[in-house]
A and B are shown apart, each in its own frame.
Chain A
Amino acid sequence: MEEPTAMSNAASQSASSRPGAARGLASAWWLRHETILAVLVVGEWLFFNSVGRRFGTWDNTFDILRHSAEIGLLSLALTPVILTGGIDLSVGSLLGLCAVVFGKLWRDAGLPVAAAASITLVVGGLAGGVNAALISGLRLPPLIVTLGSFSLFRGLAEALTRGVDTFTNFPSGFLFIGQERWLGVPAQTPVFLAAASFFWIWVHRTAQGRSFRAIGFSPEGSQYAGIPVRRRVASVYVAAGVVAAVAAILYTARLGQAKADAGTGYELYAITAVVLGGTSIFGGVGSVHGALLGVIAIAILNNGLVHARQPREVAGMLTGVLLIVALSVKPAIQRVALSWSRRKPGAKV
């Protein structure tokens, strides 16, 4: 590279000049993505509160919390994955596999719930390790690897249950976590808060979290800075596996049953929440609290539409639309800006 600022193509030019230009705006806290999203969430809540009669009650608020715990957990796990510029499509399937493994360990192997849960966590970590080994060890594209494991994990869950087996009749002490209240709040809240704090601290307050961003921005540049890129990348996929196992246990406790189809499509909701929360799908930019806001926004939408007597499918459809809108807003604005700048004579790109 001869000239410092001379770039060989327009893409790198826009990539580097935009953050510089947008910096003045982005640094104002009230224009941050998370702040805007928080305002939108409040607006959304107020809207549904005025539409549905029972929407604003404490009972319903706890209901929303309870129902978003699993997707919330998966979103937490996906945030560092996406920050490093990767993706994990297999978390929903892994939730299903872990639920089945947990059920099998408890019912068929006769293990106590605590032991079964611990082993399930290990299984989740190992499954995440399979992704990690293929992605960071063999440098295969995360997209296609996790698409394969998406199918593999769900398939294993089906094979283990022969497609029909359902695990039920869990002890009430276990169901308590999923269905009862503890200190006035849904019992899974402490688990979720613990996980959220862990991920927030990991991403925002540790050197490792800093290196996730560096890797997401520039894997090569990170390697040149002596960051152990492979180890860091592997760690986020393993963590995603463990969290999927935790989510599987909460899921089983909430529904009181474990089936092979547990968590089908959850990966979509989790990815949507993370992207909606301001995390760039290309890596580097994003936050855990943004992802949590994204989860809340989706959960309120789902719950609110039910209270507004709309069918469940509308919420699903809107989630898909929401994801596309969240993704396209920035590039669409950039395109418009680009075509404006092109109108200047001679400024051909």
Chain B
Amino acid sequence: MSERLLELTQVTKSFGAVRALKGVSFDLRPGEVHALLGENGAGKSTLIKIITGAHAPDSGRVEIGGSRVEGLNPARARALGIACIYQQPALFPQLSVAENIALRLEPSRMLRTIRWSERRRVAERLLAQVGAEIDSLCEVGDLSMPQQQLVEIACALGVGARILIMDEPTASLTQKEQRLLFGVVEDLRQKGIGIVYISHRLEEIFQLADRVTVLRDGESVGTFVASEVTEAALIERMVGREVAQVYPEREGEVGEPVLTLESVSSAAAGVGDVSLVVHAGEVVGVSGLVGAGRTELARVLFGLMPADRGVIRIHGERVDIDSPRRAVSHGIAYVPEDRRRHGIILEMSVASNTTLAIHERVFPGGWLRSSAENALASEFIRDLGIKAEGPHAVGASLSGGNQQKVSLARWLATRPRLLILDEPTQGVDIGAKAEIHKIVRRLARDGLAVLMISSDLPEVLGMSDRIAVMRNGRIAGILPGGTDARAVMALALGQA
């Protein structure tokens, strides 16, 4: 075997009750592009964070350049030649491009004279290498996201990284920029740099990668030589599993339309021309790649971002939603994606979190009534099977799944007509996941209209009555429930 730049053996990592990695092995050779493929929550980012030293593995072995490394941390990883290009670049917005690059390259000694001409020259050379036409004296804050990524790549080139991790580098690039980037990747490969390439876009993977490793539920499903495997086989591997998982059966009648969108657009959210109907008693799944505009659509519907064109109707009545408060008054509830930041307030109790959106109703006249509040919270704890010490338990003390249920309880307490769920089971363990599915199904049976955004394809397929697939901020197509995964993937990838 040829030498290995990086080798992970049987690495495990758990976060509380969630086992993010269950013994994953992975290796990278010089001059190789090794793609990492998997759905959201499969464990890709945890794996990356272990390689970059941001997380320490619970067990397993990490070897870099042939020798075992213990207690890896970000600084050490950098010194060992590991560079990572995240989707959110860690750059200084107020400083110039040249300075941003220089801060990565130059040694960190405080009493050093700076030669700006030299800085500029180096920056321009590196920018030219990645084919970016960026003025090195611009402030980074004025650059677009793809431009900032190119600056990041230039930094990685500059520090002479031997292992380069690219996390969805093309998610926001144009065709032309993609071609440039692929050229850069090809160059890097020629130089003997190993690249871990993460992407949802299969066509890119086939174009670039030498090998592909598929992760699923924290386990490696297999490593394949790219030229010997087909697209269909990879999709199969990615989504294959949960065919076995049982989803609650659909029951009940689909009723009147609750939410009607007529060519809704929002420039701020990057959502264009969305038309969709959600009926009472119906679960409409929203699928699509990361960055396809799903969460943005939810934010528009909940008044967090302005809609500038189109009509939103609730029960046929035209409404204008300019704030979350207004959305709530129209009977819209939104269980957000990032539950730790938006879904619940970690420092507050289950009871306080449950009543946060319904102060007017549980607290008539604005007076706190802890008996009513506790009764309500206890009711939800029982109904949704929230595992907590009681209504007074602090949000931070609950597991992810139970936090999600509290977030759900808050919104069910508003007695909504339309429930928007954004990644309702992301990072939730299997047991809690099944419970949440049952709850959603029960709610739909009782006549609630549900719009469920999810990147978990089997979940969308198993739960939805209809599936809206989004791509580039638009609805690429609406499929009936029970469609097969390939059709959804094809629409999401734009291959239909």
Return chain A residues, CB-CB under 8 Å to B356.
Answer: 210-211, 214, 222, 225-227
Contacts A4-B18, A6-B55, A226-B357; is A16 near B366 (CB within 8 Å)? no
> Given the complex of chains A and B, what is the CA–CA distance between A347 and B55 in angstroms?
9
Chain A proximity mask over B18-39: 1 for CB below 8 Å, otherwise 0: 1010000000000000000000
**CB-based contact A210/B368 at 8 Å:** yes
A333 adjacent to chain B (CB < 8 Å): no
Least CB separation from A211: chain B residue: B359
B191 adjacent to chain A (CB < 8 Å): no
A and B contact pairs by CB, cutoff 8 A, 27 listed: A1-B339, A1-B340, A2-B20, A2-B41, A2-B43, A2-B45, A2-B426, A3-B46, A4-B18, A4-B401, A4-B404, A6-B55, A19-B346, A207-B359, A209-B368, A213-B348, A214-B348, A221-B341, A222-B345, A224-B336, A225-B324, A227-B357, A285-B347, A345-B71, A346-B71, A347-B56, A348-B71
A341 adjacent to chain B (CB < 8 Å): no
**CB-based contact A346/B70 at 8 Å:** yes
B266 adjacent to chain A (CB < 8 Å): no
> Given the complex of chains A and B, what is the CA–CA distance between A96 and B407 in angstroms?
47
**CB-based contact A221/B344 at 8 Å:** yes
**CB-based contact A224/B343 at 8 Å:** yes
A137 adjacent to chain B (CB < 8 Å): no
Return chain A residues, CB-CB under 8 Å to B396.
Answer: 16-17, 19-20
Return chain A residues, CB-CB under 8 Å to B363.
Answer: 206-207
B325 adjacent to chain A (CB < 8 Å): yes
> Given the complex of chains A and B, what is the CA–CA distance between A208 and B346 in angstroms?
19
Return chain A residues, CB-CB under 8 Å to B410.
Answer: 225
Return chain B residues, CB-CB under 8 Å to A16.
Answer: 340, 346, 396
> Given the complex of chains A and B, what is the CA–CA distance between A185 and B339 in angstroms?
52
A205 adjacent to chain B (CB < 8 Å): yes
Least CB separation from A280: chain B residue: B347
> Given the complex of chains A and B, what is the CA–CA distance between A346 and B76 in angstroms?
13
**CB-based contact B394/A19 at 8 Å:** yes
Least CB separation from A349: chain B residue: B73
> Given the complex of chains A and B, what is the CA–CA distance between A213 and B346 in angstroms?
12
| Nearest Cβ on chain B to A243's Cβ, whole angstroms | 20
Least CB separation from A231: chain B residue: B325
- B11-68, CB < 8 A from A: 15-16, 18, 20, 40-41, 43, 45-46, 49, 53-56
Chain A proximity mask over B425-465: 1 for CB below 8 Å, otherwise 0: 01110000000000000000000000000000000000000
B288 adjacent to chain A (CB < 8 Å): no
Cross-chain contact of B403 among A4, A17, A222 (Cβ < 8 A): A4
| Nearest Cβ on chain A to B211's Cβ, whole angstroms | 23
**CB-based contact A3/B20 at 8 Å:** yes
- A288-323, CB < 8 A from B: none
**CB-based contact A226/B328 at 8 Å:** yes
Least CB separation from A8: chain B residue: B54
**CB-based contact B344/A2 at 8 Å:** no
**CB-based contact A6/B15 at 8 Å:** yes
Number of interface residues of B (CB under 8 A): 58
B334 adjacent to chain A (CB < 8 Å): yes
Return chain B residues, CB-CB under 8 Å to A348.
Answer: 53, 56, 71-73
Chain B proximity mask over A1-25: 1 for CB below 8 Å, otherwise 0: 1111110100010001101100100
- A183-211, CB < 8 A from B: 204-211
A284 adjacent to chain B (CB < 8 Å): yes
A218 adjacent to chain B (CB < 8 Å): yes
Chain A proximity mask over B313-330: 1 for CB below 8 Å, otherwise 0: 000000000001101100
| Nearest Cβ on chain A to B396's Cβ, whole angstroms | 4
Return chain B residues, CB-CB under 8 Å to A227.
Answer: 325, 356-357, 359
Give the 3 A-B CB pairs with smallest separation, nearest first: A4-B400, A207-B359, A5-B15
- B249-308, CB < 8 A from A: 304
Contacts A218-B341, A345-B71; is A23 near B397 (CB within 8 Å)? yes
> Given the complex of chains A and B, what is the CA–CA distance between A217 and B337 in angstroms?
19
**CB-based contact B366/A208 at 8 Å:** yes
Return chain B residues, CB-CB under 8 Å to A2.
Answer: 20, 40-41, 43, 45-46, 426-427
Return chain B residues, CB-CB under 8 Å to A165.
Answer: none
Least CB separation from A1: chain B residue: B338
Least CB separation from A201: chain B residue: B367
> Given the complex of chains A and B, what is the CA–CA distance between A206 and B370 in angstroms?
11
A223 adjacent to chain B (CB < 8 Å): yes
Cross-chain contact of A205 among B70, B340, B368, B426 (Cβ < 8 A): B368
Contacts A4-B18, A221-B341, A348-B71; is A207 near B403 (CB within 8 Å)? no
> Given the complex of chains A and B, what is the CA–CA distance between A4 and B337 in angstroms?
11
- A209-242, CB < 8 A from B: 209-211, 213-214, 217-218, 220-228
> Given the complex of chains A and B, what is the CA–CA distance between A210 and B366 in angstroms?
10
**CB-based contact A223/B400 at 8 Å:** no
> Given the complex of chains A and B, what is the CA–CA distance between A208 and B359 in angstroms?
9
B399 adjacent to chain A (CB < 8 Å): yes
B342 adjacent to chain A (CB < 8 Å): yes
> Given the complex of chains A and B, what is the CA–CA distance between A222 and B359 in angstroms?
12
| Nearest Cβ on chain B to A24's Cβ, whole angstroms | 10
Least CB separation from B335: chain A residue: A224
> Given the complex of chains A and B, what is the CA–CA distance between A150 and B180 in angstroms?
55
Contacts A210-B352, A217-B347, A220-B342; is A3 near B427 (CB within 8 Å)? yes
A3-B15, A4-B15, A6-B49 known; 7 new pairs, CB 8 Å cut-off, are A2-B40, A2-B426, A204-B368, A210-B359, A217-B348, A226-B356, A227-B356
